[in-house]
Amino acid sequence: MKSVDAHLAEILATVRPLAPLELELEQALGTTLAEDISSPVPLPPFDNSAMDGYAVRAEDVAGAPVTLPVIDDVAAGSLELRAVGPGHSVRIMTGAPLPAGADAVVPVEWTDGGTVSVRIDRAAELGNAVRRAGEDVQAGEVVLKAGTVIGPAQLGIIAGVGRRRVRARPRPRVVVISTGAELVEPGGTLAPGQIWDSNSYTLTAAVRQAGADGFRAGSVGDDPGILLDRLDTHLVRADAIITSGGVSMGAYEPVKEALAPLGTVRFEKVAMQPGMPQGFGVLGEDQVPIFALPGNPVSSFVSFMLFVRPALDKMRGLPGGMPRTLTARTAGPLRSPSGRRSYLRGVLADDGTVAPAHGQGSHQLAALAAANALIVVPEDVTEVEAGSSVEVIRL
Ligand SMILES: Nc1nc2c(c(=O)[nH]1)N[C@H]1C(S)=C(S)[C@@H](COP(=O)(O)OP(=O)(O)OC[C@H]3O[C@@H](n4cnc5c(N)ncnc54)[C@H](O)[C@@H]3O)O[C@H]1N2
Ligand code: MOO
């Protein structure tokens, strides 16, 4: 059987980072910068007030209480400013440019709030409540490096340095198709032998959580021809495709039957539990990667975490490796088949213990939903005693 590491290595050797595009700011959330972003101007661009109050010369208020004439009123965005001469004050709002001559701002709370003249009750030190030009960013300074994922705060600094567009690797578009004649859309009624399709929801959500755009293309039955048609429809708008089901040893395995003859998708057994049957390859002229995951719900989810997520990271221009593990202590005994790496579901507590879930079957959706970690049991270990140290992947 192929090892988990060898399967991931083959996937990572096949998928490539998506080509960068010029993206409008509205489209940039979750994309990966493909250029350094620098500021054309200092930020703030000018000295300005940090508070609503009065711009003064600090030396004029050193002997507070003092009363000064108010010679002007400046709001944020004011263009024409009168200089503050000795013994003068200007009423000023937060973000308004500091008038020439002023070197401190007295907050309105320290005054009587006058508009013609103002009584100042407390001295303000030189530079009090003044935000200096360039104290956030110098002109020409790089504020974000290529390879940074754009989140809300990163979007803020890009807009804050005046950029309308950025060069970035887009979020991969991933189409999710589930297969199986037994599947019914949630909300519909079950006939005998049917179940509701849960995998396409889990996988599409996992795609989105991995920073990509997931499109749920519904489910197809067990007909390989219909699956090929569906793939054909979606291939034009997909950077990757995920299917679930139809890859093992049964009489009706539409994914295997449809894709194996193409010669570009391999179906193999990977030495893991759950998730043993795996298909991976490329489709069409554009060599779109396709992940044919096993149908058991826990198997498809674990396969996503181990193989698809790192591949999506690489497509996004990020380092794409195995999920990080941390060391915990198992609260109960563990069993694992010989020669396969197990990913058991568990609940990791703050004290560093992990309680194995009671239902470890590949079909046990509820145990997966209650878990927050996968406990990794290496290939050469078949039993682990309670209290032993184990590696876990946080979910
Ligand atoms: N003789 C053998 N049988 C099986 C083997 C094997 O090696 N020899 N492998 C088993 C393992 S391990 C797995 S995992 C499954 C994988 O099967 P398939 O990928 O072909 O998936 P299906 O047969 O279509 O479905 C398996 C199971 O999962 C349920 N399912 C499928 N799709 C969904 C969905 N979208 N939402 C919810 N549940 C789904 C389906 O009803 C089946 O119960 O094969 C084993 N068998
Ligand atoms: O390997 Mo299958 O994924 O256990 O149920």
Top pLDDT among 29 and 254 is at 29
Task: Report yes or no: 298 and 329 within 8 Å, Cβ to Cβ.
Answer: no
Q: Name the nearest CA neighbour of 376 among 279, 296, 272, 256.
A: 272
Task: Report yes or no: 369 and 316 within 8 Å, Cβ to Cβ.
Answer: no
**Cα(175)–Cα(361) distance, rounded to whole angstroms?**
27
Residues of the chain with CATH 3.90.105.10: 24-43+141-169
Identify whether 254 is preceded by a cis peptide bond (ω within 30 of 0).
Answer: no
Mean pLDDT, residues 89-99 taken together:
96
CA of 279 to the centre of ligand 2 (A): 13
Mean pLDDT, residues 58-79 taken together:
94
pLDDT for the residue numbered 79? 82
Residues of the chain with CATH 2.40.340.10: 326-394
Count CA atoms closer than 13 A to 308's CA, side-chain side.
Answer: 38
Residues of the chain with CATH 2.170.190.11: 48-131
Confidence of residue 321 (pLDDT cuts 50, 70, 90): confident
CA of 80 to the centre of ligand 1 (A): 73
pLDDT tens for 101-115 read: 999 999 999 999 999
Q: Point out the ligand 1 atom lying closest to the alpha carbon of residue 299.
A: 14
pLDDT for the residue numbered 22? 98
Mean pLDDT, residues 296-307 taken together:
98
Q: Point out the ligand 2 atom lying closest to the alpha carbon of residue 296.
A: 5
Atom 25 in ligand 1: residue holding the nearest Cα: 295
pLDDT at residue 320 tops 80: no
**Cα(180)–Cα(295) distance, rounded to whole angstroms?**
8
pLDDT at residue 356 tops 90: yes
pLDDT at residue 72 tops 80: yes
The CATH architecture assigned to 48-131 reads: Beta Complex (2.170)
At the topology level, CATH places domain 24-43+141-169 in Molybdopterin biosynthesis moea protein, domain 2 (3.90.105)
Q: Point out the ligand 2 atom lying closest to the alpha carbon of residue 363.
A: 5
Mean pLDDT, residues 257-269 taken together:
94
Residue with tokens 């000295």: 47
- Count CB neighbours of 205 within 10 A: 14
Amino acid at 156: G
Q: Which-ligand-closest: CA of 178? A: 1
pLDDT for the residue numbered 78? 82
pLDDT for the residue numbered 250? 79
The binding-site residues of ligand 2, defined as CB within 6 angstroms of any ligand atom, are 273-276, 294, 296, 299, 362
pLDDT tens for 134-189 read: 999 999 999 999 999 999 999 999 999 999 999 999 999 999 999 999 999 999 99
Residue with tokens 């060599």: 287
Residue with tokens 């609503």: 52
pLDDT tens for 208-225 read: 999 999 999 989 998 999
CA of 191 to the centre of ligand 2 (A): 26
pLDDT at residue 48 tops 80: yes
Superfamily of domain 326-394 in CATH is: MoeA, C-terminal, domain IV (2.40.340.10)
Mean pLDDT, residues 303-332 taken together:
96
Q: Point out the ligand 2 atom lying closest to the alpha carbon of residue 275.
A: 3
Handedness of CA 321, 327, 331, 333 (dihedral sign): positive
Ligand 1 pocket test: which of 259, 296, 300, 342 has the largest number of ligand atoms within 8 Å of its C-beta? Answer: 296
The binding-site residues of ligand 1, defined as CB within 6 angstroms of any ligand atom, are 178, 180, 182-183, 195, 197-200, 244-250, 253, 274, 276-277, 294-297, 299, 362-363
Q: Point out the ligand 1 atom lying closest to the alpha carbon of residue 275.
A: 14
Superfamily of domain 4-18+171-315 in CATH is: MoaB/Mog-like domain (3.40.980.10)
Ligand 1 pocket test: which of 190, 222, 248 has the largest number of ligand atoms within 8 Å of its C-beta? Answer: 248
Mean pLDDT, residues 66-71 taken together:
98
Percent of the chain whose pLDDT exceeds 70: 100
pLDDT for the residue numbered 80? 83
Task: Report yes or no: 359 and 366 within 8 Å, Cβ to Cβ.
Answer: yes
pLDDT averaged over every residue in the chain: 96
pLDDT for the residue numbered 324? 94
pLDDT for the residue numbered 249? 82
